[in-house]
Structure 1
Amino acid sequence: MLAGAASFLLLGTAAASAHVKWFCAFDVAGQPRGLEQVLCADFEWLTGLALVCLMFGCLAEGTTLGAAILNAFDRVTERLRRDSALIVRAVVGFFLISLWNLGGIILTPELKTDANWIPWLQLAMAACLLWKRTLPLTAAGIVFLFGFAVWTYGAFHLADYPVFLGVAAFLALTALDRNLFGQRPIDVVRIAAAITLMWASVEKWAYPQWTDPLIAAKPEMTMGASPELFMQAAGVIEFTLAFALIWTPLVRRVSAVILAAVFVSAILEFGKIDAIGHSGIIAVLIAIAADDARVPATRRDVVLAPLYYASALMMFLGIYYVAHNILYGDHYGLATGAAAMLPVI
């Protein structure tokens, strides 16, 4: 069911998975669509359908069929699992060398810079990936570049990319053979990837007009749906698949496979820039799909799925809109209202 729902996203890969900021004009400080427009009837039935799919996946996981699928995952991904850290290192190395070759980019295509030393730092970071002992240096470099991008473009803009911090943590923890507060390296980067994609899905609802040029150039990607409905559906499916990355083992592994397929499909549409920009998260998703850690799914997971999903949805919507209002202007009175509540809280 989850895979079936995601077929809409797979078929409409261009608008749904390409990072619109890399290919279209955007204005982060611009007024987002009002929450009363986002939380409409179409949004409600789409999230309802997504929840049904998520709960179905949880139910299936506790059955003989679910166990068989997990066992099949384990067999098929055995080699990937053994080499998952090496795959991430190799792909991050490709990513950093590509940035060095392109020049003028901090971490992603829209984060431009005139600093001539950054490409050489990126090349040095790539070289440090060759040895396990020097992985923390690459991790430190990623964190530094992330901080430099925050300084240049602002924290709100870089909220699109916490996956970079997750990759940095993965590299450092792998080198040191340590966990972070009980979370394995793969768990840390999995959570960071989930946060990244859930935040990106909110942006699809807040600024659907950013994708208008892509849809105008490739109208077939909407499969007959209106651009408005298409972007709502793309955001809901992306949010659901991202949420699934932090849920039960089978659900998150299926989600990782679907998301990886979506990002790879987008490369066919958008070419080299998309391949470079999304290479890191594709490698992370492959590692998540190969992860064989299991905690048996229970009925509690099925029952709690709607509560946690709704809480995550409201939290990301709330943080996005309140933060935007505080930083760029109180368009809807949200920041004023939040500030007035602080003394009470």
Structure 2
Amino acid sequence: MKKIFQILLMLGLIMTPFFAEAHVKWFTNISPHKDSIEHILSPIFIFFALLAAIVLASLTLILPKMAEWGPMKRWEDRFSSLRKYSRYILKYGTAVALMIQMANGTLFAPEFHMHNTVAVVLTWITIGFLLIPHHISTKIGAVILLGLFIYVTIHHGIFYMLDYGFYVAIIGVLLVGNTKFEKAGFPFLYLGTGLSLSWVAVEKWVYPDMALDIVAHHHVPTFGFAPDLFVVMAAFIEFVVGYLLVVGILNRVLGFVVTCIFISTTMLFGMTEVIGHFMIHIVLLIFIIEGVSFYNPPIKMHKTKLDQFIFVFLNFIFVLATFLLIYYRFA
């Protein structure tokens, strides 16, 4: 069983598209053209939706066996000893991410250029407060950062900023530190990050021309698949990663795999990738350290394996349909 798991993990790493986690709008200048819903819901799309649902549901049967392996237990103990550093990693990692963005003249994402002097000054003040090793200064920095996020949202719209909803989760974790709500912080981070990744994935289905332009102009390897099929597969991979984070499955493995993907995309897309995804790297590092020890995932509501299998299968289809229809309606 151990060898089988290693083989499956390696295949997943090899077959994972290099731009699966990329924000399409960062790397193309073509005008977005919404595809028809009939074309999006193609037989290929439906096939991958059902396949993903079955694979995800099957994990509820496989994971308990994996947890009993000696190497997995040693891995759990090794990373568990680092949990005391998680909040410091998030706090100072956020400060470094903001520094990188400010050096590029942007905030939150490469396309949000900062021309307002007050906003720039407030961002540097936020960085200063986050670097002070005290929870009060951390909360002050988080409040200012929330104000900056609202400012950018007013200028770009709520729908557009849903791509970066994980920043709200980060701010939430920083705000509840050293309070009675502290334990709710990291579960909120899991939820916010997972939903953001799933939301961004839908963009590749609704605006496939943008993704296809990236594949063509950046020479993205498609592993022998047709570019349009490759785009559909890449979006499913990203959506599944986000969904798994929300339901609390394979968080450490996912954190490691997605981090490897981001490192590979940095070599493909350069500095823009670093600016846009450095904060995500910090979040994924926390997921690798934390696992799900503090998180009571939704799947735990169901006690039997059959109930968990059915829950994950149906819930994935429901979440996929909901995200797609909402994105398509308001895109």
**TM surpasses 0.5:** yes
Judged with a 3 Å threshold, the aligned counterparts in structure 2 of structure 1 residues 102 and 218 are, in CA distance, closer, same or farther, namely closer
Retained in 1: the 8 A contact 2:57–2:312?
Answer: yes
Residue equivalent to 1:337: none
Residue equivalent to 1:340: none
Residue equivalent to 1:258: 257
Residues 75-84 or 132-141, more deviating: 75-84
1:239-278 matches, cutoff 5 A: 239-249=239-249, 251-278=250-277
Counterpart CA distance in 2 for 1:232 and 1:102 is 32
Specify the SS of the correspondent of 1:194: helix
Of the three residues 5, 13, 20, the one matched with 1:7 is 13
Of the three residues 37, 57, 60, the one matched with 1:58 is 60
Residue equivalent to 2:166: 163
Instruction: Report Cα offsets for 1:107-133 as digits up to 9, x if no partner.
Output: 211112321222221111111112322
Residue equivalent to 1:93: 95
Judged with a 3 Å threshold, the aligned counterparts in structure 2 of structure 1 residues 92 and 9 are, in CA distance, closer, same or farther, namely farther
Of the three residues 307, 310, 323, the one matched with 1:316 is 323
Retained in 1: the 8 A contact 2:108–2:164?
Answer: no
Counterpart CA distance in 2 for 1:20 and 1:40 is 21
Q: CA deviation at 1:79?
A: 4.3
Give the total of aligned pairs.
314
Confirm whether residue 281 of structure 1 aligns to residue 273 of structure 2.
Answer: no
Counterpart CA distance in 1 for 2:89 and 2:203 is 30
Amino acid at match of 1:99: Q
Judged with a 3 Å threshold, the aligned counterparts in structure 2 of structure 1 residues 50 and 3 are, in CA distance, closer, same or farther, namely farther
Per the normalisation by structure 1, the TM-score is: 0.83
Counterpart CA distance in 1 for 2:85 and 2:63 is 26
Amino acid at match of 2:144: G
Counterpart CA distance in 2 for 1:26 and 1:160 is 19
Structure 2: stretches of 5+ with no match in the other structure: none
CA RMSD, aligned part only? 2.3
Confirm whether residue 46 of structure 1 aligns to residue 48 of structure 2.
Answer: yes
Of the three residues 4, 16, 20, the one matched with 2:20 is 16
Judged with a 3 Å threshold, the aligned counterparts in structure 2 of structure 1 residues 3 and 40 are, in CA distance, closer, same or farther, namely farther
Amino acid at match of 1:219: H
1:73-222 matches, cutoff 5 A: 73-103=75-105, 105-129=106-130, 130-131=132-133, 132-176=135-179, 178-179=181-182, 184-219=184-219, 221-222=221-222
Q: CA deviation at 1:177?
A: 5.1
Specify the SS of the correspondent of 1:109: strand
Counterpart CA distance in 1 for 2:29 and 2:52 is 30
Counterpart CA distance in 2 for 1:272 and 1:219 is 17
Counterpart CA distance in 1 for 2:329 and 2:269 is 33
Retained in 2: the 8 A contact 1:5–1:237?
Answer: no
Instruction: Report Cα offsets for 1:166-207 as digits up to 9, x if no partner.
Output: 11001111243524xxx6211001100011011101001111
Retained in 1: the 8 A contact 2:98–2:107?
Answer: no
Retained in 1: the 8 A contact 2:265–2:273?
Answer: yes
Specify the SS of the correspondent of 2:163: coil
Amino acid at match of 1:178: F
**Percentage of identical aligned residues:** 23
Instruction: Report Cα offsets for 1:247-291 as digits up to 9, x if no partner.
Output: 245x23322222222222212222222112211112112212222
Judged with a 3 Å threshold, the aligned counterparts in structure 2 of structure 1 residues 5 and 202 are, in CA distance, closer, same or farther, namely farther
Structure 1: stretches of 5+ with no match in the other structure: 325-345
Residue equivalent to 1:227: 227
Per the normalisation by structure 2, the TM-score is: 0.87
Q: CA deviation at 1:86?
A: 1.1
